[in-house]
Chains A and B, each alone.
Chain A
Amino acid sequence: MSNGDLLHVVTNDNISDGRKRFGRAMIWGTAGLTAVVGTLQVMQATGQAEFGFANWRPTLYAFCTWAVALCWGQVLIRGEHGKRTLFVLPAAIFVAALTIFPLLFGLIIAFSDWNLSSPTGRQFNGLDNVRQMWTDPFFWNALWNMVLYSAAILVEYAVAFGLALLLNAQIRARKFFRVAFLLPLMLSPVAVSWMIGKSMLEARFGPLSRLARFFGVENPSFFGSPEIARATIMIMDAWTYIPFMMIMILAGLQAIPKELNEAAKVDGANAWRNFWEVTFPLMLPVSITAILIRIIFKLKLADVVINVTSGGPGGATDTVTSFIFREYRERSNVGYGTLLAFVYLVIIVIAMTFLMKLADRWMRPRT
């Protein structure tokens, strides 16, 4: 983002020293309050003293006071500049408080043996969780499944592109088709997993099983063998999210000036070459954005798996998220689950950085 299009305002504030001092005092005062309350609570938690706190709410309230004081103090101390900071600061504090602190806290949990249902509480166990992870075939299996699930995005992309092309063609009732195509995205994955996974794919009465039998499949079972179960989950997830990619690609298609395709037609290109040599290259940036966002969403896939197969058969459909979910639900093993989640996060960050660099390189020479 260049600085040229920013708003430049020059104001002269006359901020008295007293006002500045008041602002600073407020910020540091509330920060001190938070620190004091926090320390007292830590002391109680470690058993050094008893202050009668029922929970950690007092620290939370003190922190909120500090956050408000910080925002208000900006205006007091820096006047007009502070008012501008006030646009971004609340969101920044909100996000920082809700991610950075839990992440740091999570790091502690990740290296401890902590079973929420056991009375012994949290105990550091060093790298034991890592060792357990290393030898846990189900975790690696879940990771591999994520690779397979992500690979399915290419098929989703092809279907979504085809649908977007159709919607962009000269058709009647375009709005009806657009709404109809969009609807799967609106449905809750949990409802979808019942509607499709449990009822339509039901082996005896489900309409899709009947259809399969009509086509000559003897005993249709959609979750019997690992490969078919995985494919079924992929299709159900694709059903929900194809509209998402379709809409993004459609927006891209509509942004292409008509003249380009017309010029290609005048030059004697048929529809096929017109698509591959004009439309597709122009759509490359949008396509890559759509695929990257879709990958991000795909990596969070869990609801359908948890509700339809709970990872079965034999972990064939497990995603990392659903695996950790079950790890917690069945064993209340917070420590191990958190470690797995952190390893997953690291892998995702590395993979996404790599993909974005790659996408950057692909997009540059063309656009």
Chain B
Amino acid sequence: MFSSFRQAMAWLHTWFGLVLGFVLMAAFFFGALSVFDREIDRWTVPTTRIAPQPMPSFEQVLRPAFERMHPTPAAIDAMRPRVDGAMPQHFDTVVNWSAYTTHRDPVLELYAGYEVPNAKDPEEAIWAYGTIDPRNGKALSDDQLKIGSGFFYPMHYSLTLDWKNLGIWIVGFSALMMLAALVSGVIMHRKLFREFFTFRPGKARLRSVLDLHNLTGVVALPFHFFFAFTGLVIFASTYYFPVGQTQLHGLHELHEQVEAQETGLPHDRAGVPAGLASVDAMVAEAQRRWAADGKAGDVGFLMMQHVGDANGYVSVYRAGTDRIALVGDGIHFKASTGELIRVDPPATPTGRVSEFLTGLHLQHFRHWLLRWFYMLGGLAGAVCIATGFVFFVEKRKRQHAQRGSQGARIVDALAVTTVTGMLLATLGILVANRLLPENLPARGDWERYAFWCIWALALLHAAWRSAPVAQGRANPAWREQCIAIATLALAAVVLNGITTGDYVWRTIATGYWPVAGIDLFLLCSAAVACLTARALKRRASAAQSRIADMGMARV
């Protein structure tokens, strides 16, 4: 079929790149946004615009907050089919309480799991979630959509297609094929080193597009490779090869019990009620031990297992802000007495590699420069895919126009939707977030609808304006959507100022960078979109006059 290996690679790169490029574009773009997910949360939930807080006192703040928690009626309804007989309305036996925070979180997330007496799977718990202000323990409304960590981040790894985890599988398959695309891309590239720094914007259209595609692909190759790979590693054992939950289920249970024996952390409740010693004292002891180990730091995750039982224990994990590897250095105490049960031993070499790889992708570290570099890598990937689309269309549209084929036209319309349309949808959800009334029921759902509606409108617009592509010319939708992007980005900044009083000059003056940074980024995006629209207009009128000249010459 192919006369050379390189040709076969080119076929693979072209077609898999085209089909999966649409998915990868979303993964790259929303991944880049997820680097700053907590900051986007601050922008979209103005009541949480406060400075990050450390883990608060358990006795004074956390315990009362945990005791107030209860599963929502919706969670109880969802559990009903997995219970034999009547569904209990109260859940008194707490399986575990846990609290999680990072160095970028001003609010604290709480989780509580309760035993369900008649559950078909006795191991299954029912969960309650809460968000509190760590300064005073006040519960914050939990139904406001955290657009950064609750929408853009799931978009990155699952496209929010939750049915049977379909989205996670689609993104995973695309990441796997992306690794193949990277290898085939390197093989196709004849002058990887000689053209390492090459970008010739003035050259013929096809050449300059290919230059940019190669440049953004090659210089960020380590980033592209490691992020596709570590993304797969993160989900491998939970979703892609869940042998522990399927074929090895019996062994898995047994392993849990053996592990409990080895670690001394009880697997089951004793059935004997017991009190709770001072958790703050346990936390202080854990911090003292970390400091003695040369790893002083804050608590990231605090968990209590078998609450109120003689077998109960408290686990304190460190927030890993000073290194890449995602380690907790967990220290465990007996809940009723506060006596030390266990200090997690250092990981095996394999474990350390895995911690480094997952930590590299999940980025819990405190390093703003590296965060911005990740953003740069993600956007370079997005540019690489976008130029791939443009190259595909530019290479074929004249031939397709001569043959009367609609292929290039369809791909171009889809490319407009995935590149500029996705930006419009993203800006649209931010604008909707500022425009919708504060106490609208199910506000988060309306925000999501706004996102998908705007994206659908962008698709319709791109398709409606695509006729010129079938004649070998450019689709004006590119330029028009650039203008819309600039408008929406400006609108988001202005609306943020009007609705919250946090005008961009004020947030800069007070140094509240989560919000100021996003506003500044939006303003820069608006400027880039304007410049792009202007360049596209200049190019369109140049093409117009060329066609007119040709017409004159023919006359």
B is bound to A: no
